[in-house]
Amino acid sequence: MSSSSDRSRILVVGATGVVGEEMLDVLARRGHAIRPIHAFASAGSAGKTVRCGDRELAVEELGESVFRPGDIALFGVDAELARRVAPRAVAAGARVVDNSSAFRLDPAVPLVIPEVNPDDLRGPPAPALLANPNCSTIMLLVALEPLRRAFGIEHVHVATYQAVSGAGRAAMDELRDQTRAVLDGKDLEPRAFPTPCAFNVFPHESAVDPLTGANVEEQKVVAETRRIWHQPDAAIDPTCVRVPVLRAHSQAVTATLGRSASLGEIRDRLAAGAGIRVLDDRIAAGWPTPHRASRQDAVLIGRIRWAMSELDRPEAVRRRVALWLSADQILKGAALNAVQLAESAGPRVLETQRAQSAGWADWARVENGPGTDLLSPYDYHRPRLLDCCVRDGNRYFQTGMGTGKRLHRALELIRSAVRRGV
């Protein structure tokens, strides 16, 4: 994850929020819990504890001078706080990934979805500040990327069905409390939203531009897509809606492809796409749902079909395809994308990604028994320190530190794979 130090500290800023907690969990799942990790929040939360895998971290107050050179700071705070604190972190020599909207449209700050525009991360120098796109943009563009690459995309229409988790913990609590209250025949004043969220559906609560009628969430989807695609005239028509779902957003998408393709080709491209899982069983109604997408890394895609108006035209000229998506907006829409960005910002972690794509994790599971994951051969070129790290249940093994033949064998395989340029 770091290019400057093998033991870079990872700082999660806003660690007690929904996104911050998820960042800690993603860090643990992806093998980073072996690094020094610090959890920061406002003074009111200092002293509480948060979990990072099997570690319990004491929450520290986000003071003036907490950032150090080489730190990797993941920000899960609101835009106002990010605007104040992120520049300070960068000035102190930290690398920051910010999940808020503060820097998303700043031309000097890369706005990146690793599955879509990884080239925007390329240095040198490695960018010190990266922006995480909005959740609705991330899931839409991950889903469309295989089609954009293969056929081009001329126009996108998308209606969102956004879970209340996108508005934070207070909104999730409000949905729970309000649902109970309604079932008990009581009224509960809305606080997190301008309108009751239980048993209700309403246009996204962000401010509406009186001139265009578009709300801020819709404006984000358009502006961010144009930046990420490097296509200032990309034609995107979003309608963003909040639904009484606790976690994971869904989207109904109609995309007009740049050229005609068969539905089989479209399906194959989607199935092979990075960060995507196709769930599309027309017989058994096996579709993506927020329930299925919750706590999953992948964007789920189903109901892959021609837009109905295309059915009157010969198949050879059809270009409008309809899709139904669900994705965990706290994960891929926020925390996971942020961790992926932090990982891809340094050369060391490219090795981890290569390891994962080369299937080494699968190999380690087979070779070392169930429950064993090869996490990161991130230091294979400094064998006396730490060559690779293997997790067995809750225990971490480091092959360079003499923990047994099988693990040394793992190292050998990694080295030979690296030599072969895998």
Annotated active-site residue in 32, 38, 204, 249: 249
Total residues contacting ligand 2RA (rule CB under 6 A)? 7
Annotated active-site residue in 38, 52, 135, 240: 135
Closest contact distance (angstroms) between CB of 214 and ligand 2RA is 14
Residue nearest to ligand 2RA (CB): 166
Q: Is 219 in the site for ligand 2RA (CB under 6 A)?
A: no
Q: Is 337 in the site for ligand 2RA (CB under 6 A)?
A: no
Which among 29-37, 86-94, 160-168, 371-379 is the span making contact with ligand 2RA, rule CB under 6 A? Answer: 160-168
Helix (H, G, I), strand (E, B) or coil at 389: strand
Q: Is 71 in the site for ligand 2RA (CB under 6 A)?
A: no
Instruction: State the DSSP code for 233.
Output: T
Nearer to ligand 2RA, 135 or 140 (CB): 135
Tokens representing residue 45 in the block? 């939360």
Residues 6 or more apart whose CB falls under 8 angstroms from that of 14 comprise 20, 40, 41, 75, 76, 77, 81
The residue within the footprint of ligand 2RA, chosen from 62, 147, 167, 331 (CB under 6 A), is 167
Q: Is 2 in the site for ligand 2RA (CB under 6 A)?
A: no
Closest contact distance (angstroms) between CB of 285 and ligand 2RA is 26
Which among 73-81, 159-167, 176-184, 294-302 is the span making contact with ligand 2RA, rule CB under 6 A? Answer: 159-167
Q: Is 135 in the site for ligand 2RA (CB under 6 A)?
A: yes
Residue spans of beta strands (DSSP E) within 267-422: 276-278, 299-306, 320-327, 372-376, 389-392, 395-398
Nearer to ligand 2RA, 62 or 167 (CB): 167
Is 52 marked active-site? no
Give 201-207's long-range contacts (Cβ < 8 A, gap of 24+): 201/241, 201/242, 201/243, 201/244, 202/241, 202/242, 203/239, 203/240, 203/241, 203/242, 204/160, 204/162, 204/240, 204/241, 204/242, 205/167, 205/242, 206/240
Q: Is 250 in the site for ligand 2RA (CB under 6 A)?
A: no
Nearer to ligand 2RA, 166 or 238 (CB): 166
| Angle, CA of 332, 251 and 109, to the nearest 5° | 45
Is 249 marked active-site? yes
Contact 361, 373 (CB under 8 A): yes
The residue within the footprint of ligand 2RA, chosen from 134, 219, 251, 372 (CB under 6 A), is 134
397/407 Cα distance (integer angstroms): 8
Residues 6 or more apart whose CB falls under 8 angstroms from that of 297 comprise 275, 328, 331, 332, 336
Positions marked catalytic: 135, 249
Which residues contribute to the site for ligand 2RA (CB under 6 A)?
134-135, 162, 166-167, 217, 329
